[in-house]
Chain A
Amino acid sequence: MVNDGSSSGAGSANGSKEIGDEYNGNSSKLNRRRFIQAAGVGAAATGFAGCLGGGPGSSTEGIPSEVTIGVLAPAPENNPIGAAIANSAELAAKQINNSDKLLSEADNVKVSIKNTQESPSTGRQRYRALTLDEGAHMTTGVFTSEVLLQLMDPIAQQQTVHMTTGAASPKASKQVNENYDKYKYHFRTGPINGYHLGQNMVDFLEAKGSDLGWDSVALLVENYEWTNPVQKAIDDHIGDLDVDVAMERRYASGTQNFGPIYDSVEESGADAAFVAMAHTGTPAVVQWARDQRPFEFGGIHVLTQLPAYYSMTGGACQYTVTQNTATPQSELTDKTLDYAEAYNEANDGYPVYTGYITHDAIMQWANVATERGTVNSDEIVKGLEESSYTGTAGSIDYYGKDHKYAHDIKYNFTTDSPPETGVNPVFQQWQSEDGSGVQEVLHPSYVSSADYQAPPWV
């Protein structure tokens, strides 16, 4: 289920027997690739590129024989969020290698995966290793906003396109907007930025409020950078609804005992805990369900997005609602389920949201590079700005350089039909079916699969 080789990801993506066996339509391409590997030309070229120091993407014209995609993921060996980034990057590289259309001039597209350990300083080190030592032509991944914000300057220095696929802080896009020439190499393919995440929660409440019956909510957010804009957006917009915010609490990132917090929620009389949890959350869900707290539970809970979460929590996540980029049950585009099944086949399990986004990022980059006939970063930036790519999560379009969220993916909330541009996240609920858990989609209606179920103890 998880990546099996962190930084050795290239090895499994660039010419292994498995790829040749599975995709035998490009045998000459693969033979050449193996030859290059054996001769070590790739290593020498990479080393040379690293010596240039100005960022390989910016100085390269055309499509090189070996294209390197740098991936930054949190603990890809054992964190499902990091594993989804790493495994999806390898899947995308595999598909590009076996495509006659994408980057056909390249003999090999390889993936190099580095562990950020969710630490800003480690993230910077690993980013430099990818761009300077390994000569990555683009980088992607990054789950933690604190890490991303520390990468903005190195990205600007290396002038190599970076497509974020996990971190949500809009401070990054603000930097692009305010100093475009310096920071233009950063794009956020997903998720929608933190402010839009909060707005999306409120939009969902407005659209589904009558079904949910949540007239008052207790806002619980973990104390991380990404939740600041989420909280602000909720504060800005929830007043437009007929919903009372009974209490609001930022809790410490290391919180294990949610008893005192839930006591406060109960005292507030809120109908539901409206949450923003990504790095923390399992103790919160398990204690809510086992203590049968008399309020409902929903919002953004990243771990609840994990397809294996029902078994991981012994069913405690049943009845929880969370926003998600996509699920294996939600056919947002004709690519969503194909990707989910290909991922499942390759990794014996379905991805979490960072997987969908990472796949979209790499495929969009490859499409733009192919169209432009180059991996030159300045050309790719122009291409991505003009691109409207149908990915697994929806239409991947970015805000322009004059927008306050420059180069962030566009967010468009709709209920009955897919938006023409941008993405419209789904809201799912864990429900039980024959004793096992299913991620049923509640919203939007064009992919919904079930109605909301309130916990029986409330």
Chain B
Amino acid sequence: MASILSVALTIIVQAAMISALYALIAIGFTLIFGVGGVLNLAHGATITMGAFSAYYAGQFGLGIPGAVLASVTIPALFAGLLYLGMVKRLEEEPIMVMITTLVVSVVIEQAIVVFEGTTSRSLPRLIEGQFHIAGSTFQNLLGVMFVVSWIIIGLLFLFVNYTKTGKGILAVSMSHKGASLVGIKSSRINLITWIIAGAFAGIAGLFLGSWLTADFAMGQAQLVLSFSIVVVGGIGSIRGSVIGAYLIGFLEIATTNLISSSLQGLAPLVVLVVVLLVKPEGLFGREFAE
């Protein structure tokens, strides 16, 4: 009995931590779709960029603070420039945005292949050590990741609901025309959204790389994961994305712990197919628009 309890606790703690990372990965993706109405297929590559920014900061001897700073600012800056340089001009053509961001994604990956090769890279460890719950051992890194994720989610909710800019984001997500009529510049709101999404992706890349190592293709799986999470939660819904992330995270950990570790990555795809067939609008629909 104690053993079952221990296994259950292990699964719950592991899943809570992994899900927190998944939420970080998916929120930026859903934010851009919810506000701008476009799919950013460079989202995975932005995560990769966050990881490699931290890697380079480590290589240049900037330490952990430098790695954290680089992993947030460089992807945020990149996302802002991507919006201003390409996406802004194509906003009315979502398919073109998808193609453009996909091309950008491939360019980033190939650039990493050229400069760093195909071998995985080890990032500076953000925090050493382990903690114990119910006889199981967990990494401090994942614990910190869980806390940081919830702080960021909390701050995002506060920002969106209680600041002028945040309310502008809500307004644009509801109606571009309506927002314009009350004097909100949707292009500025979109730019802010892209920068926030880039920063979130960078933080996700930092934690992901620090935990598992970084390689040029690491963003591909994260893009698929983001798709799955936002479809499950309801495209454009931040709350849905968080819940979707936890649903997929728990399913994945339960699958790998109770059935087979070789089933990693399968849960998001299975859930994606099931939700598309049964409830294609997702758990929460598109809440901004409702």
Contact = CB atoms under 8 A, between A and B. Distances in A.
Interface of A: 2, 75, 77-80, 223, 249-252, 254-257, 259-261, 263-264, 282-283, 286-287, 290-292, 303, 306, 312-314, 316
A283 B212 contact: yes
Interface in B117-160: 117-122, 124-125, 128, 130, 139
Contact of B221 (A2, A249, A256, A260): A256
Contacts of A261: 261
Contact of A282 (B113, B122, B128): B122
B212 A287 contact: yes
B128 to A, nearest CB: 8
B120 A78 contact: no
A310 to B, nearest CB: 10
A283 B114 contact: no
Q: Which 5 A-B pairs have the closest CB atoms?
A: A282-B120, A78-B117, A260-B261, A314-B122, A260-B256
B117 A257 contact: no
A75 B118 contact: yes
Interface in B54-71: 58
A292 to B, nearest CB: 8
B30 interface: no
Interface centre among A75, A303, A312 (most CB of B within 10 A): A312
A79 B119 CA distance: 7
A291 B139 contact: yes
Contact of A249 (B58, B117, B261): B261
A313 B113 CA distance: 17
A163 B122 CA distance: 35
Contacts of A260: 256-257, 261, 264
B122 A79 contact: no
B224 to A, nearest CB: 12
B174 to A, nearest CB: 38
Contact of A254 (B119, B121, B139, B265): B265
Contacts of B261: 249, 251, 255, 260-261, 264
Contacts of A78: 113-114, 116-118
Nearest to B263: A252
B193 interface: no
B262 A252 contact: yes
Contacts of A312: 119, 121-122
A254 B139 CA distance: 22
A291 B138 CA distance: 9
A119 to B, nearest CB: 13
Interface string B8-32: 0000001000000000000000000
Nearest to B220: A254
B213 interface: yes
Contact of B262 (A251, A286, A316): A251
Nearest to A75: B118
Contacts of A259: 14
Contacts of B221: 254, 256
Given A251-B261, A260-B256, A283-B212, A80 B119 contact: yes
Nearest to A260: B261
B109 to A, nearest CB: 12
A303 B119 contact: yes
A80 B264 contact: no
Interface string B181-220: 0000000000000000000000000000001110100100
Nearest to B253: A260
A257 to B, nearest CB: 6
B213 A283 contact: yes
Nearest to B117: A78
A263 B128 CA distance: 19
Given A303-B119, A312-B122, A314-B122, A257 B114 contact: no
Nearest to B217: A254
Contact of B117 (A80, A252, A314, A316): A80
A283 B264 contact: no
Contacts of B211: 287
A282 B117 CA distance: 13
Given A255-B264, A290-B125, A77 B119 contact: no
Given A249-B262, A314-B58, 8 more contacts: A78-B113, A78-B114, A79-B117, A251-B262, A252-B265, A255-B264, A259-B14, A282-B119
